[in-house]
């Protein structure tokens, strides 16, 4: 089984990159699907699940929660339960034993013993802003300042969630095989190069 995990800064194109790599490699692809499964398992709708994990409210999270789960307020406890549920789903996916690309969800940490190829995708703020502008529906357009604030907040929340799971800093070069900066690249071409690269990494492994 070959697993590629993709962690990414919001707006860096990590999701598109992962989807394209999965298509090229004929690997299964997981991303919002995981969130969806978690949400359905908890009887929540998908939007709410996304909202819980990527938006407000992590900031005041006690980083020592491991030893003080009972001190969390109900909303915080809901988040931790959500992370744990999500972890179970990621483990279930891995247990299927099929080659796959998993975007986000701290899969690199959760599946460390499966030795995944761990990618982190980043870009400059101007490149991410451009990308978000191109993709945001007309009626959801924020100002540049608002968009940057949203980006930073989402990334900060991702960093906090990672910290809770494994204590390692998010986006640190020691934690990934490859950090790819998409700012100067065509994502389609980059996906093809990285797919080749991944095949080299996995060699004859199946």
Which residues here bind its own copies, judged by CB under 8 A?
A: 120, 122, 124, 171, 173-174, 176-181, 184-185, 189, 192-194, 196-197, 200-201, 203
Least Å distance between CB 187 and its own copies? Answer: 13
Least Å distance between CB 94 and its own copies? Answer: 19
Which one, 23 or 81, has the nearer CB to its own copies?
23
CA distances from 40 to 70, 85, 113 (A): 26, 11, 27
CA distances from 92 to 25, 86, 88, 144 (A): 21, 10, 6, 39
Least Å distance between CB 31 and its own copies? Answer: 22
Which one, 5 or 53, has the nearer CB to its own copies?
5
CA distances from 135 to 11, 131, 151, 178, 190 (A): 9, 6, 14, 26, 19
Task: Please give the helix or strand (H or E) that residue 117 lies within, else none.
Answer: strand 117-122
Which one, 61 or 197, has the nearer CB to its own copies?
197
Which one, 59 or 174, has the nearer CB to its own copies?
174
Distance CA 47, CA 39 (A): 9
Least Å distance between CB 179 and its own copies? Answer: 4
Which one, 82 or 176, has the nearer CB to its own copies?
176
| DSSP helix/strand/coil, 99 | coil
CA distances from 87 to 80, 134, 142, 183 (A): 10, 32, 32, 31
Least Å distance between CB 121 and its own copies? Answer: 10
């Amino acid at each position: 089984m070959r697993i590629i995990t993709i962690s990414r800064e919001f707006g860096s194109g990590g999701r598109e990159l992962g989807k394209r790599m999965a298509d090229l490699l004929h690997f299964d692809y997981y991303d919002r699907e995981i969130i969806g499964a978690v949400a359905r398992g908890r009887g929540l709708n998908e939007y709410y699940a996304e909202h819980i994990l990527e938006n407000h409210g992590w900031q005041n999270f006690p980083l020592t929660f491991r030893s003080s789960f009972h001190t969390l307020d109900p909303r915080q406890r809901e988040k931790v339960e959500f992370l744990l549920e999500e972890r179970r789903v990621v483990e279930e996916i891995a247990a299927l034993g099929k080659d796959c690309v998993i975007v986000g969800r701290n899969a690199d940490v959760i599946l460390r013993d499966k030795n995944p190829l761990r990618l982190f995708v980043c870009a400059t703020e101007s490149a991410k802003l451009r990308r978000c502008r191109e993709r945001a529906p007309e009626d959801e357009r924020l100002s540049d300042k608002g968009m940057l604030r949203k980006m930073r907040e989402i990334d900060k929340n991702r960093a906090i969630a990672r910290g809770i799971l494994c204590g390692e800093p998010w986006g640190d070069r020691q934690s990934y095989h490859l950090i790819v900066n998409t700012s100067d690249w065509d994502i389609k071409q980059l996906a093809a190069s990285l797919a080749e690269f991944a095949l080299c990494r996995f060699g004859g492994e199946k």
